[in-house]
Structure 1
Amino acid sequence: MSRSDAEILWEVARLLARDAANVSRGPGERPALPPLLFLTDPDRTPRPWETAARLPPGAGVIFRHFGLPGAQETALRLRRITRDRGVLLLIGLDADMAEAVGADGLHLPERAVRRAADLRTAHPDWLITGAAHAAAAVGVPGLDALIVSPVFPAGGVSASRAALGMTAFRSLAASSSTPVCALGGIRASNARRLIGSGACGLAGVSAIQAAFAPA
């Protein structure tokens, strides 16, 4: 019997996390970085709670609302589902929303990653991740992980960016003292190429939504 895309992505994500020794954290510290991250997008993932409800325990959701009306209600819905599923919830950029819904942390776009140190001081228990599209974001203090994209040709806002490719991604991961998660164009058909790359996990938008869609 062939394996489903969801099974392949989850297996690869756990292998990446296992191989990245700097992902684990001791008791009483911030949550461990999820090896598989589902990033929401108002256009491409209009019903993100459906995907969140099917993610495996230990995965994570990054809710990026981009000012969408009703975002607070969606965030609360995601918080209820992720808590029940044993899935972490991070809010994109909006620290006030993250506090209001009791999220596990915050995800910062590349333009805002320099805020990480101040946010870490204010919220020492939060998991804080930041987006990166180039080596300039490597070494930013206060981040628990960088989400680097696009590794492969991707859609959405990353469609206009040239893919890094595996050679450049490996180089960036090797130069970073912060764990690096791979994003962009990752599917079940190419996810295994990330094994041995230095990635601590993988992230996706449409591919994860499709893989964890209702049967």
Structure 2
Amino acid sequence: MKNRQSSLPHVWLISDARNDAVLERALSRLPRGSGFIFRHYHLPADRRRARYLRLCRTARRHGHAVILAGDTSQARRWKADGAYASPARLGSAPNLLRLATVHSLRELGEAHRAGVDAVLISPAFPTASHPGAPTLGPVRLRLLAARARAKPIALGGMTRRKARGYNISRWAAIDGLS
């Protein structure tokens, strides 16, 4: 687990229905060795798999890690580098990265018990995904990140400018990178 954590990318692009049209371009513009989390929950299974394969080829051509939103057995079948799900769905997978989103100390505890490699701490700032929803803000984001045993990744309203301004080393975005 230590080797997987130490090689964990610092910048993550997350797929969504609203950034689908620009994903190839966004993947090509990310720094080499970034991460890509493929969600695309909006597509039927066959179209989701086909879209994953196209985007996976693009991501790998640029040296990015590819994480599939789903359980570890599906990630293994789809030849992803890891899985992104709730801690309960991740299960054990010694050769895959396991990422989970957390919004609270309780969820962080669940992620610790599951032994995930990274936690996406969300929502850091106001986001288009959840307009008007409460956010953590920089102080609570830092407090959760400080308690994390896994690598913390800020998610929600993140941009390069916010990452630099708040000195956040690992972060993920949907709109902020596409």
Alignment-derived partner of residue 115 in structure 2:
142
Q: Equivalents in 1 of 2:22, 2:71: separation in Å?
A: 20
Alignment-derived partner of residue 20 in structure 1:
none
Sequence identity (%): 29
The residue matched to 2:52 in structure 1 has which SS? helix
Matched, 1:179 2:155: no
Q: Equivalents in 2 of 1:187, 1:31: separation in Å?
A: 23
The residue matched to 1:190 in structure 2 has which SS? helix
AA aligned opposite 1:138: L
Matched, 1:155 2:128: yes
Q: Equivalents in 2 of 1:168, 1:84: separation in Å?
A: 37
How many Å apart are 1:33 and its aligned residue? Answer: 1.2
Higher relative contact order structure (alpha carbons within 8 Å, sequence separation ≥ 6): 1
The residue matched to 1:138 in structure 2 has which SS? helix
Q: Give TM-score, length-normalised by structure 1.
A: 0.72
Q: Equivalents in 1 of 2:60, 2:74: separation in Å?
A: 16
Aligned 8 A contact 2:33 2:64 in 1: yes
Q: Give unmatched runs, 5+ long, in structure 2.
A: none
The residue matched to 2:19 in structure 1 has which SS? coil
How many Å apart are 1:95 and its aligned residue? Answer: 4.1
- Please give the residue correspondences for 1:196-215 in structure 2 after superposition, counting only pairs within 5 Å: 199-209=168-178
Q: Equivalents in 2 of 1:84, 1:72: separation in Å?
A: 18
Q: Equivalents in 2 of 1:67, 1:191: separation in Å?
A: 29
Q: Equivalents in 1 of 2:5, 2:149: separation in Å?
A: 17
The verdict on how the C-alpha distance between 1:178 and 1:25 changes in structure 2, with shifts beyond 3 A counting, is closer
AA aligned opposite 2:171: L
- Which residue, out of 19, 23, 45, partners 2:20? 45
Q: Equivalents in 1 of 2:161, 2:62: separation in Å?
A: 26
Aligned 8 A contact 2:83 2:97 in 1: yes
The verdict on how the C-alpha distance between 1:98 and 1:160 changes in structure 2, with shifts beyond 3 A counting, is farther
How many Å apart are 1:68 and its aligned residue? Answer: 0.5
AA aligned opposite 1:115: R
How many Å apart are 1:164 and its aligned residue? Answer: 0.6
Q: Equivalents in 2 of 1:201, 1:83: separation in Å?
A: 20
The verdict on how the C-alpha distance between 1:160 and 1:95 changes in structure 2, with shifts beyond 3 A counting, is farther
How many Å apart are 1:97 and its aligned residue? Answer: 4.2
Larger Rg: 1
AA aligned opposite 2:43: L
AA aligned opposite 1:207: G
Q: Give TM-score, length-normalised by structure 2.
A: 0.86
Alignment-derived partner of residue 166 in structure 1:
138
Q: Equivalents in 1 of 2:88, 2:71: separation in Å?
A: 15
Compute the RMSD of aligned alpha carbons.
Answer: 2.2
Paired residue total: 173
Q: Give unmatched runs, 5+ long, in structure 1.
A: 1-23, 210-215
Alignment-derived partner of residue 82 in structure 2:
105
* CA deviation vs aligned residue, 1:28-71 (integer Å, no higher than 9, x gap): x5772110000010133344233223222110100002151311
Q: Equivalents in 1 of 2:153, 2:68: separation in Å?
A: 17
